Structure 1
Amino acid sequence: MTAPQRPARRGRGRRPIAQVRAEVLEAAAAVLMREGVGGFTIEKVIVHSGVSSATVYKHWPSRGALALDGYLHAVGDEIALRDTGDIRADLVRGITAFVRMVGVEPAGPVFAQLIGAAQTDSELASQFDQHYFGPRRRQAFALLEAAKERGQIRSDADLGVIVDIIWGACYIRLLLPHLTGTLTVDFARDVVHQALNGVTLVEKSG
Protein backbone atom coordinates (compact mmCIF):
# COMPACT_ATOMS: atom_id res chain seq x y z
CA MET A 1 0.00 0.00 0.00
CA THR A 2 1.48 3.34 -1.05
CA ALA A 3 1.77 5.97 1.67
CA PRO A 4 -0.24 9.16 0.99
CA GLN A 5 1.79 11.95 -0.52
CA ARG A 6 2.08 15.13 1.49
CA PRO A 7 0.93 18.14 -0.55
CA ALA A 8 3.59 20.68 -1.45
CA ARG A 9 3.79 23.64 0.91
CA ARG A 10 1.74 26.57 -0.31
CA GLY A 11 4.53 29.01 -1.11
CA ARG A 12 7.55 30.14 0.87
CA GLY A 13 7.83 32.62 3.66
CA ARG A 14 5.57 33.33 6.58
CA ARG A 15 1.88 33.61 5.81
CA PRO A 16 -0.74 35.39 7.92
CA ILE A 17 -1.90 33.17 10.75
CA ALA A 18 -5.53 33.69 9.70
CA GLN A 19 -4.75 32.16 6.31
CA VAL A 20 -2.94 29.23 7.88
CA ARG A 21 -5.81 28.59 10.32
CA ALA A 22 -8.32 28.71 7.47
CA GLU A 23 -6.32 26.13 5.50
CA VAL A 24 -6.15 23.82 8.51
CA LEU A 25 -9.85 24.20 9.26
CA GLU A 26 -10.84 23.54 5.66
CA ALA A 27 -8.72 20.41 5.70
CA ALA A 28 -10.15 19.35 9.07
CA ALA A 29 -13.71 19.81 7.81
CA ALA A 30 -12.96 17.78 4.67
CA VAL A 31 -11.42 14.90 6.62
CA LEU A 32 -14.17 14.94 9.25
CA MET A 33 -17.06 14.98 6.81
CA ARG A 34 -15.47 12.27 4.68
CA GLU A 35 -14.36 9.88 7.42
CA GLY A 36 -16.40 10.77 10.49
CA VAL A 37 -15.05 11.16 14.01
CA GLY A 38 -13.76 7.58 14.08
CA GLY A 39 -11.51 8.13 11.07
CA PHE A 40 -10.44 11.65 11.94
CA THR A 41 -6.80 12.20 12.93
CA ILE A 42 -4.60 15.25 13.23
CA GLU A 43 -2.03 13.60 10.94
CA LYS A 44 -4.59 13.30 8.15
CA VAL A 45 -5.37 17.00 8.52
CA ILE A 46 -1.66 17.85 8.40
CA VAL A 47 -1.23 15.81 5.21
CA HIS A 48 -4.35 17.28 3.62
CA SER A 49 -3.53 20.90 4.51
CA GLY A 50 0.24 20.90 3.99
CA VAL A 51 0.63 22.90 7.20
CA SER A 52 3.44 21.87 9.56
CA SER A 53 2.63 19.60 12.47
CA ALA A 54 4.22 22.09 14.88
CA THR A 55 1.79 24.79 13.76
CA VAL A 56 -1.24 22.54 13.97
CA TYR A 57 -0.42 21.18 17.43
CA LYS A 58 0.33 24.70 18.66
CA HIS A 59 -3.23 25.83 17.99
CA TRP A 60 -5.14 22.55 18.47
CA PRO A 61 -3.85 20.47 21.38
CA SER A 62 -6.22 17.58 20.80
CA ARG A 63 -7.85 15.64 17.99
CA GLY A 64 -11.31 16.46 19.32
CA ALA A 65 -10.68 20.19 19.53
CA LEU A 66 -9.53 20.29 15.90
CA ALA A 67 -12.47 18.16 14.77
CA LEU A 68 -14.99 20.50 16.41
CA ASP A 69 -13.32 23.62 15.00
CA GLY A 70 -13.35 22.03 11.56
CA TYR A 71 -17.05 21.23 11.92
CA LEU A 72 -17.96 24.75 13.02
CA HIS A 73 -15.88 26.19 10.19
CA ALA A 74 -17.87 24.07 7.73
CA VAL A 75 -21.34 24.99 9.02
CA GLY A 76 -20.59 28.68 9.66
CA ASP A 77 -23.13 30.81 11.52
CA GLU A 78 -26.24 29.31 9.95
CA ILE A 79 -27.70 28.52 13.37
CA ALA A 80 -26.89 31.80 15.11
CA LEU A 81 -29.87 33.30 16.94
CA ARG A 82 -31.00 36.80 15.96
CA ASP A 83 -33.38 39.16 17.72
CA THR A 84 -36.07 40.61 15.45
CA GLY A 85 -38.41 41.55 18.29
CA ASP A 86 -40.66 38.49 17.98
CA ILE A 87 -39.44 35.89 20.48
CA ARG A 88 -41.58 33.07 19.14
CA ALA A 89 -40.54 33.62 15.52
CA ASP A 90 -36.89 34.07 16.48
CA LEU A 91 -36.74 30.82 18.44
CA VAL A 92 -38.56 28.92 15.70
CA ARG A 93 -36.15 30.32 13.12
CA GLY A 94 -33.11 29.40 15.19
CA ILE A 95 -34.18 25.89 16.12
CA THR A 96 -35.39 25.00 12.62
CA ALA A 97 -32.04 26.17 11.20
CA PHE A 98 -30.36 23.74 13.61
CA VAL A 99 -32.70 20.92 12.60
CA ARG A 100 -32.01 21.52 8.91
CA MET A 101 -28.26 21.56 9.56
CA VAL A 102 -28.23 18.20 11.33
CA GLY A 103 -30.84 16.72 9.01
CA VAL A 104 -28.43 16.24 6.11
CA GLU A 105 -25.58 13.82 5.51
CA PRO A 106 -22.90 13.87 6.72
CA ALA A 107 -23.33 16.93 8.98
CA GLY A 108 -25.97 15.38 11.25
CA PRO A 109 -24.29 12.06 12.01
CA VAL A 110 -20.90 13.75 12.43
CA PHE A 111 -22.35 16.22 14.93
CA ALA A 112 -23.89 13.39 16.93
CA GLN A 113 -20.53 11.59 16.86
CA LEU A 114 -18.79 14.71 18.19
CA ILE A 115 -21.24 14.96 21.08
CA GLY A 116 -20.62 11.30 21.88
CA ALA A 117 -16.84 11.72 21.74
CA ALA A 118 -17.05 14.69 24.10
CA GLN A 119 -18.22 12.37 26.87
CA THR A 120 -14.72 10.87 27.15
CA ASP A 121 -12.59 13.69 25.67
CA SER A 122 -12.31 16.48 28.24
CA GLU A 123 -10.59 18.84 25.80
CA LEU A 124 -13.37 18.38 23.25
CA ALA A 125 -15.98 18.88 25.98
CA SER A 126 -14.27 22.12 26.97
CA GLN A 127 -14.17 23.28 23.35
CA PHE A 128 -17.88 22.48 22.96
CA ASP A 129 -18.65 24.60 26.02
CA GLN A 130 -16.48 27.52 24.89
CA HIS A 131 -17.27 27.58 21.19
CA TYR A 132 -20.66 25.95 20.69
CA PHE A 133 -22.99 25.23 23.59
CA GLY A 134 -21.91 28.18 25.74
CA PRO A 135 -22.29 30.90 23.08
CA ARG A 136 -25.58 29.56 21.76
CA ARG A 137 -27.03 29.22 25.24
CA ARG A 138 -26.07 32.82 25.97
CA GLN A 139 -27.72 33.91 22.71
CA ALA A 140 -30.92 32.14 23.71
CA PHE A 141 -30.88 33.71 27.18
CA ALA A 142 -30.34 37.15 25.63
CA LEU A 143 -33.35 36.68 23.34
CA LEU A 144 -35.54 35.61 26.23
CA GLU A 145 -34.35 38.44 28.49
CA ALA A 146 -35.17 40.93 25.75
CA ALA A 147 -38.60 39.33 25.38
CA LYS A 148 -39.15 39.79 29.11
CA GLU A 149 -38.28 43.46 28.84
CA ARG A 150 -40.74 43.87 25.96
CA GLY A 151 -43.45 42.17 27.99
CA GLN A 152 -43.73 39.22 25.62
CA ILE A 153 -43.13 36.64 28.32
CA ARG A 154 -43.77 36.64 32.04
CA SER A 155 -41.19 38.29 34.26
CA ASP A 156 -40.99 35.17 36.47
CA ALA A 157 -40.38 32.76 33.57
CA ASP A 158 -37.44 30.41 34.16
CA LEU A 159 -35.25 31.01 31.12
CA GLY A 160 -33.06 27.99 31.77
CA VAL A 161 -36.06 25.68 31.73
CA ILE A 162 -37.33 27.17 28.46
CA VAL A 163 -33.95 26.76 26.79
CA ASP A 164 -33.53 23.20 28.08
CA ILE A 165 -37.01 22.18 26.94
CA ILE A 166 -36.46 23.46 23.41
CA TRP A 167 -32.90 22.36 22.74
CA GLY A 168 -32.97 19.32 25.02
CA ALA A 169 -35.93 17.83 23.17
CA CYS A 170 -34.16 18.29 19.83
CA TYR A 171 -30.86 16.84 21.06
CA ILE A 172 -32.65 13.79 22.45
CA ARG A 173 -34.16 13.10 19.03
CA LEU A 174 -30.82 13.71 17.32
CA LEU A 175 -28.96 11.29 19.58
CA LEU A 176 -31.67 8.66 20.16
CA PRO A 177 -33.89 8.65 17.04
CA HIS A 178 -34.65 4.93 17.35
CA LEU A 179 -36.17 5.53 20.79
CA THR A 180 -37.65 9.00 20.59
CA GLY A 181 -38.62 9.61 16.97
CA THR A 182 -37.38 11.61 14.03
CA LEU A 183 -36.06 15.12 14.47
CA THR A 184 -38.09 17.21 12.03
CA VAL A 185 -38.77 20.90 11.48
CA ASP A 186 -42.42 20.39 12.46
CA PHE A 187 -41.35 18.74 15.72
CA ALA A 188 -38.97 21.62 16.50
CA ARG A 189 -41.67 24.22 15.86
CA ASP A 190 -44.10 22.34 18.11
CA VAL A 191 -41.50 22.22 20.89
CA VAL A 192 -40.98 26.00 20.72
CA HIS A 193 -44.72 26.66 20.85
CA GLN A 194 -45.24 24.27 23.75
CA ALA A 195 -42.32 25.76 25.68
CA LEU A 196 -43.61 29.30 25.24
CA ASN A 197 -47.35 28.71 25.64
CA GLY A 198 -47.11 28.67 29.42
CA VAL A 199 -45.06 31.85 29.75
CA THR A 200 -46.18 34.19 26.98
CA LEU A 201 -48.26 37.27 27.66
CA VAL A 202 -49.32 37.85 24.07
CA GLU A 203 -51.24 35.83 21.55
CA LYS A 204 -49.31 33.29 19.48
CA SER A 205 -48.12 34.81 16.19
CA GLY A 206 -47.93 33.15 12.80
Structure 2
Amino acid sequence: MTRHDPPRLTPGRGRRRAQDVRRATLAAASDLLFSQGIRSLTFEKVAARAGASKVTLYKWWPSPGALAFEAYFDAVQDTLAFPDTGDIRRDLTAQLHAFVDLLHRNGPVVAEIIGAAQSDPDLAASLSEQYIRPRRDLAVERLSTARRAGQIREDADLETIVDQLWGACYHRLLLPAEPLTTDFADALIANLFSGIAPAPHRTSAGSPRSLGHGSLAE
Protein backbone atom coordinates (compact mmCIF):
# COMPACT_ATOMS: atom_id res chain seq x y z
CA MET A 1 0.00 0.00 0.00
CA THR A 2 1.11 3.58 -0.55
CA ARG A 3 1.72 5.40 2.69
CA HIS A 4 1.68 9.12 3.21
CA ASP A 5 2.69 11.24 6.18
CA PRO A 6 -0.17 10.98 8.67
CA PRO A 7 -2.17 14.14 9.34
CA ARG A 8 -1.02 15.65 12.61
CA LEU A 9 -3.51 17.57 14.71
CA THR A 10 -2.25 21.03 15.54
CA PRO A 11 -3.09 22.76 18.81
CA GLY A 12 -5.71 25.43 18.52
CA ARG A 13 -8.49 27.15 20.33
CA GLY A 14 -11.69 25.23 20.87
CA ARG A 15 -12.46 21.57 21.17
CA ARG A 16 -11.41 19.40 18.24
CA ARG A 17 -13.92 16.96 16.80
CA ALA A 18 -13.55 13.41 18.05
CA GLN A 19 -13.69 12.05 14.49
CA ASP A 20 -10.74 14.23 13.49
CA VAL A 21 -8.72 13.04 16.48
CA ARG A 22 -9.58 9.42 15.70
CA ARG A 23 -8.70 9.79 12.00
CA ALA A 24 -5.33 11.34 12.81
CA THR A 25 -4.64 8.68 15.41
CA LEU A 26 -5.41 5.80 13.04
CA ALA A 27 -3.25 7.38 10.33
CA ALA A 28 -0.33 7.77 12.74
CA ALA A 29 -0.76 4.22 14.04
CA SER A 30 -0.90 2.86 10.49
CA ASP A 31 2.31 4.69 9.58
CA LEU A 32 4.12 3.26 12.61
CA LEU A 33 2.72 -0.23 12.04
CA PHE A 34 3.75 -0.51 8.40
CA SER A 35 7.13 1.21 8.81
CA GLN A 36 8.35 -0.18 12.14
CA GLY A 37 6.13 -3.13 13.06
CA ILE A 38 3.66 -3.80 15.82
CA ARG A 39 6.29 -3.97 18.57
CA SER A 40 7.21 -0.35 17.96
CA LEU A 41 3.63 0.87 18.22
CA THR A 42 2.94 2.42 21.61
CA PHE A 43 0.30 4.87 22.76
CA GLU A 44 3.02 7.40 23.53
CA LYS A 45 4.51 7.27 20.01
CA VAL A 46 1.12 7.36 18.30
CA ALA A 47 -0.11 10.25 20.43
CA ALA A 48 3.04 12.23 19.66
CA ARG A 49 2.74 11.61 15.92
CA ALA A 50 -0.97 12.35 15.79
CA GLY A 51 -0.86 15.37 18.09
CA ALA A 52 -3.46 13.66 20.27
CA SER A 53 -3.74 13.05 23.99
CA LYS A 54 -2.40 9.75 25.27
CA VAL A 55 -5.30 9.71 27.75
CA THR A 56 -7.72 9.74 24.81
CA LEU A 57 -5.99 6.73 23.27
CA TYR A 58 -6.28 4.78 26.53
CA LYS A 59 -9.97 5.66 26.61
CA TRP A 60 -10.66 4.48 23.05
CA TRP A 61 -8.47 1.38 22.81
CA PRO A 62 -7.80 -1.24 25.51
CA SER A 63 -4.26 -1.91 24.28
CA PRO A 64 -1.75 -0.76 21.64
CA GLY A 65 -2.39 -4.08 19.89
CA ALA A 66 -6.08 -3.30 19.52
CA LEU A 67 -5.18 0.11 18.10
CA ALA A 68 -2.68 -1.51 15.72
CA PHE A 69 -5.34 -3.88 14.42
CA GLU A 70 -7.90 -1.13 13.84
CA ALA A 71 -5.29 0.94 12.03
CA TYR A 72 -4.45 -2.04 9.81
CA PHE A 73 -8.07 -2.82 9.03
CA ASP A 74 -8.87 0.83 8.36
CA ALA A 75 -6.07 0.87 5.78
CA VAL A 76 -7.03 -2.34 3.93
CA GLN A 77 -10.79 -2.82 4.24
CA ASP A 78 -11.55 -1.44 0.76
CA THR A 79 -9.05 -3.89 -0.75
CA LEU A 80 -10.88 -6.82 0.82
CA ALA A 81 -14.36 -5.96 -0.46
CA PHE A 82 -16.16 -9.06 -1.76
CA PRO A 83 -17.47 -8.67 -5.33
CA ASP A 84 -20.78 -10.07 -6.57
CA THR A 85 -20.92 -10.34 -10.36
CA GLY A 86 -23.31 -13.26 -10.31
CA ASP A 87 -20.50 -15.72 -11.10
CA ILE A 88 -19.23 -17.29 -7.87
CA ARG A 89 -16.06 -18.73 -9.37
CA ARG A 90 -15.10 -15.37 -10.87
CA ASP A 91 -15.85 -13.60 -7.58
CA LEU A 92 -13.87 -16.07 -5.48
CA THR A 93 -10.94 -15.69 -7.87
CA ALA A 94 -11.05 -11.88 -7.74
CA GLN A 95 -11.28 -11.84 -3.95
CA LEU A 96 -8.50 -14.38 -3.40
CA HIS A 97 -6.22 -12.57 -5.87
CA ALA A 98 -6.79 -9.31 -3.97
CA PHE A 99 -6.12 -11.10 -0.68
CA VAL A 100 -2.90 -12.72 -1.93
CA ASP A 101 -1.73 -9.34 -3.27
CA LEU A 102 -2.44 -7.76 0.11
CA LEU A 103 -0.44 -10.46 1.89
CA HIS A 104 2.44 -9.97 -0.53
CA ARG A 105 2.60 -6.27 0.35
CA ASN A 106 1.80 -6.48 4.05
CA GLY A 107 2.48 -10.09 5.00
CA PRO A 108 4.94 -9.35 7.83
CA VAL A 109 2.45 -6.95 9.45
CA VAL A 110 -0.39 -9.49 9.18
CA ALA A 111 1.82 -12.21 10.64
CA GLU A 112 2.85 -9.90 13.50
CA ILE A 113 -0.78 -9.09 14.32
CA ILE A 114 -1.74 -12.78 14.34
CA GLY A 115 1.28 -13.62 16.50
CA ALA A 116 0.68 -10.77 18.95
CA ALA A 117 -2.97 -11.80 19.32
CA GLN A 118 -1.87 -15.07 20.92
CA SER A 119 -0.72 -13.18 24.04
CA ASP A 120 -2.88 -10.04 23.86
CA PRO A 121 -6.51 -10.83 24.76
CA ASP A 122 -7.70 -7.35 23.74
CA LEU A 123 -6.09 -7.67 20.32
CA ALA A 124 -7.45 -11.21 19.96
CA ALA A 125 -10.96 -9.98 20.75
CA SER A 126 -10.70 -7.10 18.27
CA LEU A 127 -9.31 -9.40 15.59
CA SER A 128 -12.15 -11.86 16.08
CA GLU A 129 -15.03 -9.41 16.45
CA GLN A 130 -14.01 -6.77 13.91
CA TYR A 131 -12.20 -8.81 11.27
CA ILE A 132 -12.37 -12.60 11.36
CA ARG A 133 -16.07 -13.07 12.01
CA PRO A 134 -17.27 -10.25 9.72
CA ARG A 135 -14.96 -11.46 6.92
CA ARG A 136 -16.22 -15.02 7.26
CA ASP A 137 -19.80 -13.80 7.28
CA LEU A 138 -19.24 -11.86 4.04
CA ALA A 139 -17.78 -14.93 2.34
CA VAL A 140 -20.53 -17.23 3.61
CA GLU A 141 -23.18 -14.73 2.52
CA ARG A 142 -21.73 -14.63 -1.01
CA LEU A 143 -21.51 -18.43 -1.11
CA SER A 144 -25.09 -18.69 0.14
CA THR A 145 -26.24 -16.44 -2.71
CA ALA A 146 -24.41 -18.72 -5.15
CA ARG A 147 -26.05 -21.77 -3.60
CA ARG A 148 -29.50 -20.25 -4.03
CA ALA A 149 -28.58 -19.58 -7.67
CA GLY A 150 -27.71 -23.24 -8.16
CA GLN A 151 -23.96 -22.62 -8.54
CA ILE A 152 -23.09 -24.56 -5.40
CA ARG A 153 -24.46 -27.88 -4.16
CA GLU A 154 -27.14 -27.71 -1.50
CA ASP A 155 -25.13 -29.90 0.88
CA ALA A 156 -21.88 -27.94 0.58
CA ASP A 157 -20.42 -26.83 3.93
CA LEU A 158 -19.88 -23.12 3.36
CA GLU A 159 -17.83 -22.48 6.51
CA THR A 160 -15.45 -25.25 5.46
CA ILE A 161 -15.09 -23.71 2.00
CA VAL A 162 -13.94 -20.48 3.68
CA ASP A 163 -11.33 -22.44 5.65
CA GLN A 164 -10.18 -24.31 2.53
CA LEU A 165 -9.55 -21.12 0.58
CA TRP A 166 -8.52 -18.35 2.97
CA GLY A 167 -7.13 -20.71 5.60
CA ALA A 168 -4.75 -22.17 3.03
CA CYS A 169 -3.48 -18.68 2.19
CA TYR A 170 -2.84 -17.90 5.85
CA HIS A 171 -1.06 -21.25 6.16
CA ARG A 172 1.40 -20.34 3.42
CA LEU A 173 1.89 -16.90 4.95
CA LEU A 174 2.72 -18.21 8.42
CA LEU A 175 4.46 -21.46 7.41
CA PRO A 176 6.14 -20.47 4.14
CA ALA A 177 7.38 -23.82 2.87
CA GLU A 178 5.72 -23.03 -0.47
CA PRO A 179 5.13 -19.63 -2.12
CA LEU A 180 1.87 -17.75 -1.75
CA THR A 181 0.90 -16.74 -5.28
CA THR A 182 -2.18 -16.09 -7.38
CA ASP A 183 -1.42 -19.37 -9.19
CA PHE A 184 -1.79 -21.08 -5.82
CA ALA A 185 -5.12 -19.30 -5.30
CA ASP A 186 -6.27 -20.45 -8.73
CA ALA A 187 -5.27 -24.03 -7.90
CA LEU A 188 -7.25 -23.88 -4.66
CA ILE A 189 -10.35 -22.76 -6.54
CA ALA A 190 -9.83 -25.35 -9.30
CA ASN A 191 -9.57 -28.14 -6.73
CA LEU A 192 -12.64 -26.82 -4.96
CA PHE A 193 -14.81 -26.83 -8.05
CA SER A 194 -13.50 -30.01 -9.68
CA GLY A 195 -12.91 -32.02 -6.52
CA ILE A 196 -10.04 -34.44 -6.02
CA ALA A 197 -11.90 -37.73 -6.42
CA PRO A 198 -11.19 -39.66 -9.65
CA ALA A 199 -13.54 -38.98 -12.51
CA PRO A 200 -16.60 -41.28 -12.66
CA HIS A 201 -15.84 -44.55 -14.45
CA ARG A 202 -18.16 -46.81 -16.33
CA THR A 203 -19.51 -50.10 -15.07
CA SER A 204 -19.63 -53.18 -17.24
CA ALA A 205 -23.14 -52.15 -18.28
CA GLY A 206 -21.72 -48.90 -19.62
CA SER A 207 -23.32 -46.57 -17.08
CA PRO A 208 -21.12 -44.16 -15.12
CA ARG A 209 -20.59 -44.84 -11.43
CA SER A 210 -19.74 -41.88 -9.26
CA LEU A 211 -17.09 -42.18 -6.55
CA GLY A 212 -18.53 -39.28 -4.58
CA HIS A 213 -19.25 -35.59 -4.93
CA GLY A 214 -16.71 -34.17 -7.31
CA SER A 215 -17.66 -30.50 -7.57
CA LEU A 216 -19.46 -27.67 -5.89
CA ALA A 217 -22.36 -27.94 -8.30
CA GLU A 218 -23.76 -31.13 -9.78
Deviation per residue, 1:166-190 (Å, 9 max, x gap): 011100001111x3x1111110121
Letter in 1 for 2:65: G
Match in the other structure for 2:128: 129
Partners of 1:174 and 1:76 lie apart in 2 by 19
Q: How many residues align?
A: 192
Match in the other structure for 2:164: 165
Equivalent runs, 1:101-120 vs 2, <5 Å: 101-104=102-105, 107-120=106-119
Relative contact order, CA 8 A, sep 6+: which one is greater?
1
Deviation per residue, 1:103-140 (Å, 9 max, x gap): 02xx2211111011111111111111111111110000
Match in the other structure for 1:192: 189
Range moving further from structure 2, 8-17 or 153-162: 8-17
Task: Provide TM-score, normalisation by structure 1.
Answer: 0.88
Task: Please say if residues 29 and 74 of structure 1, whose CA atoms lie closer than 8 Å, have aligned partners that are also in contact.
Answer: yes
Task: Provide TM-score, normalisation by structure 2.
Answer: 0.83
Partners of 2:28 and 2:35 lie apart in 1 by 11
SS at match of 2:39: coil
SS at match of 1:103: helix
Task: Please say if residues 65 and 123 of structure 1, whose CA atoms lie closer than 8 Å, have aligned partners that are also in contact.
Answer: yes
Letter in 2 for 1:28: A
CA RMSD in angstroms comes to 1.5
Match in the other structure for 2:12: 11
Task: Please say if residues 24 and 51 of structure 1, whose CA atoms lie closer than 8 Å, have aligned partners that are also in contact.
Answer: yes
Tell me how far 1:8 sits from its aligned partner. Answer: 7.2
Which of these two proteins has the greater Rg computed from alpha carbons? 2
Match in the other structure for 2:180: 183
Match in the other structure for 1:70: 71
Tell me how far 1:59 sits from its aligned partner. Answer: 0.8
Tell me how far 1:200 sits from its aligned partner. Answer: 2.5
Letter in 1 for 2:50: S
Which consecutive unaligned segments of at least 5 residues does structure 2 have? 1-7, 195-213
Task: Please say if residues 30 and 68 of structure 2, whose CA atoms lie closer than 8 Å, have aligned partners that are also in contact.
Answer: yes
Identity of aligned residues (%): 47
Letter in 1 for 2:167: G
SS at match of 1:155: coil
Letter in 1 for 2:156: A
Partners of 1:158 and 1:187 lie apart in 2 by 22
Match in the other structure for 1:144: 143
Indicate how the Cα distance of structure 1 residues 76 and 148 shifts in structure 2: closer, same or farther if over 3 A, else same.
Answer: closer
Task: Please say if residues 9 and 50 of structure 2, whose CA atoms lie closer than 8 Å, have aligned partners that are also in contact.
Answer: no
Tell me how far 1:10 sits from its aligned partner. Answer: 3.9
Task: Please say if residues 65 and 122 of structure 2, whose CA atoms lie closer than 8 Å, have aligned partners that are also in contact.
Answer: yes
Letter in 2 for 1:32: L
Equivalent runs, 1:23-42 vs 2, <5 Å: 23-42=24-43
Which consecutive unaligned segments of at least 5 residues does structure 1 have? 1-6
